[in-house]
Amino acid sequence: MLKKLNSLLLVSLLAFLAFFMQAFTTSAESTTQIIRIGVVPTAESVNIGSDHDFTITDKLTGEIIYSGEGDQATVELSSTSTIETNYRLQTAWTSDEARMLDWKSRAEAAGYDTYIEDYNNGWRLLIGKFPEDAGWGEREAFRQQMIEEGFAGNDSYWRLITISSGEAEMRLIADGFDEIVPGAIQISSENGLIKINGKQYRGIGEVAFNSTGTLAGINELALEEYLYGVVPLELPPVPYDELEAQKSQAVAARTYAISGLGKRSADGYDLLPTTSDQVYGGYDAEHPISTQAVEETEGVVATYNGNLISAVYHSTSGGITSNNEDVWSSGPIPYLRSVPVSERVMSTQKKDGNNSQRVNRMIEFEKEWSRYYRWNHEWTNEEMSQVVSDHFNVDVNEVYEVNALDYSNGRVLEIEFVTDNGTYYEYKDQIRWAFKYINDNGSMSVLRSTLFQIEPIMDEETETVTGFRAEGGGWGHGVGMSQVGAMGMAVYGYNYEDILKHFYTGIELEERY
């Protein structure tokens, strides 16, 4: 049962403990790196609790507000604010404050809505404001206008942004208790495990406001313990149980996490627990093999010229990884180069009698380990019309042609849809979102990769197009380390250092702590 504690003695004791812990953390910070994960990025209510004894405190003062045992409390957004979601055109990212302020003042002087978003030690620059139901044609016309006026580039794209405006407060509700709390609150437990929206996490939990004025549920914990809940979800130990592959994943995930500290600081945390950053499942996702991989590589990161790399990775390359600039709108990065996920070897094979011959054969590291090494999908005319209509928010009754206009290392860079309601284009990795299909579970998914070819399905008798077929390979963006490829390389005897240096060209491995 939850109850409020107002004892001055407890407050004094907590203050002393907080001071002691701060001193301890400072002295040990060379070996203990802390990370904050937005496990609930935005919500109007968040549930917190534990299966054991726990306390809820005011983050600012350290005052204990509640104690409980095997129970939970709810934090709600209590406000007179309004929450609205609009399309805004993301034009650029910059770490130059002068450039950000100049862009903002020029855009506002021209009469345009602006929105600045803190991101990764810099700012995202967004312009315009369109309702959720605004059509693609209307938004595309505005985007082209912004390009012509110099406020955006060809790589600009639309994002749905949710913002809460007005006065907002947090309300803490428990068994027999209902009060407004002054600000962010934290929960810790006797056994070091807490719950946020029913999921167990190590460390402490927090509920605070994010940059849009809604609530965020945050898990703060030691970075190495965070990796315990990342590695088994990014590279499941069943069936990918090769320790060297798991170590490769641990180093890549650690490098990504450390380089991403502060990335989403405007929202009160560092990273998201999804594929937008790294998939993180907390305590319940942990596995002994993954934990061993994390512990045996503790502190090891990948660097290029002494700096942490952007350790991006994906499930399956389809046989060859991609250059970063062929997938995202960024300049070439020297360690994110296209490499084959295969090896040509010589082996001896016996012929008739005692004779033998040397045979040159290709080992494809992913082929035996991924069901998505090769795949194909088909769309009827009706399905393709619906897919294009949904993606571009237009009314298309018939798609006449789908043409891949440009390739790099087998990946499509530009696609064209010729329809009865105009011609539409998509580029690089966004092409995957333009080709949604019904997966095995009966729900809509984005195309697994841009490593594909597409052709019309013809009716031989009428010589008319009845649909479209895509044949491709791989799963994910294709840049950096192939996780399934790492598994295949480990099976063939490569260690985690070999694997990482294959996928990230010219890197070094360092122990940072």
Q: What would the pLDDT profile of 50-64 be if each residue is shown by its tens digit? A: 999 999 999 999 999
Residue closest to 205 by CA, chosen among 59, 32, 28, 3: 59
Over pLDDT 90: what percentage of the chain?
69
- Among 103-107, 222-226, 430-434, the range of highest mean pLDDT: 222-226
Average pLDDT over residues 123-150: 90
Cβ 474 vs Cβ 376: under 8 Å:
no
Cβ 377 vs Cβ 469: under 8 Å:
yes
For residue 91, what are its two tokens? Answer: 């034009």
pLDDT at 316 over 80: yes
CA-based Rg of the chain, rounded to a whole angstrom?
Answer: 26
Residue closest to 503 by CA, chosen among 480, 485, 476, 487: 480
Contacts by 494-502, CB closer than 8 A, 24 or more apart: 494/244, 495/244, 495/247, 496/244, 496/245, 496/247, 496/248, 496/251, 496/297, 499/244, 499/245, 499/248, 500/248, 500/251, 500/252, 500/302, 502/339
Report DSSP state, residue 358: E
Q: Three-state SS for 475?
A: strand
Q: Three-state SS for 385?
A: helix
Task: Give 3-state DSSP helix, strand, coil % of the chain, rounded to 5.
Answer: 25, 40, 35
**pLDDT higher for 231 or 211?**
231
Q: What is residue 164's predicted lDDT score, i.e. its pLDDT?
A: 64
pLDDT at 459 over 80: yes
Q: Three-state SS for 345?
A: strand
Average pLDDT over the chain, rounded to an integer: 88
Report DSSP state, residue 357: E
> pLDDT tens digit string along 61-74?
999 999 999 999 99
Which domains does the chain carry?
1-17+41-76+172-222 (no CATH), 82-165 (3.30.70.1070), 229-369+478-513 (no CATH), 375-472 (no CATH)
Q: What is residue 3's predicted lDDT score, i.e. its pLDDT?
A: 39
Q: How many CB atoms lie within 10 A of CB 124?
A: 20
For residue 32, what are its two tokens? Answer: 């203990």
Using CA atoms, how far apart are residues 159 and 180, in angstroms rounded to an integer? 33
Average pLDDT over residues 29-50: 89
Average pLDDT over residues 303-331: 95
Concatenated DSSP letters of 188-250 = EETTSEEEETTEEEESEEEEEE-TTSSEEEEEEEEHHHHHHTTHHHHS-TTT---HHHHHHHH
Q: How many CA atoms lie within 13 A of 502 on its CB side?
A: 24
pLDDT at 501 over 70: yes
Residue closest to 368 by CA, chosen among 500, 242, 501: 242
* Banded pLDDT at 350 (limits 50, 70, 90): low
Strand spans (E) along 1-44: 3-4, 34-43
Dihedral sign from CA coordinates of 59, 65, 67, 71: negative
Using CA atoms, how far apart are residues 165 and 261, in angstroms rounded to an integer? 28
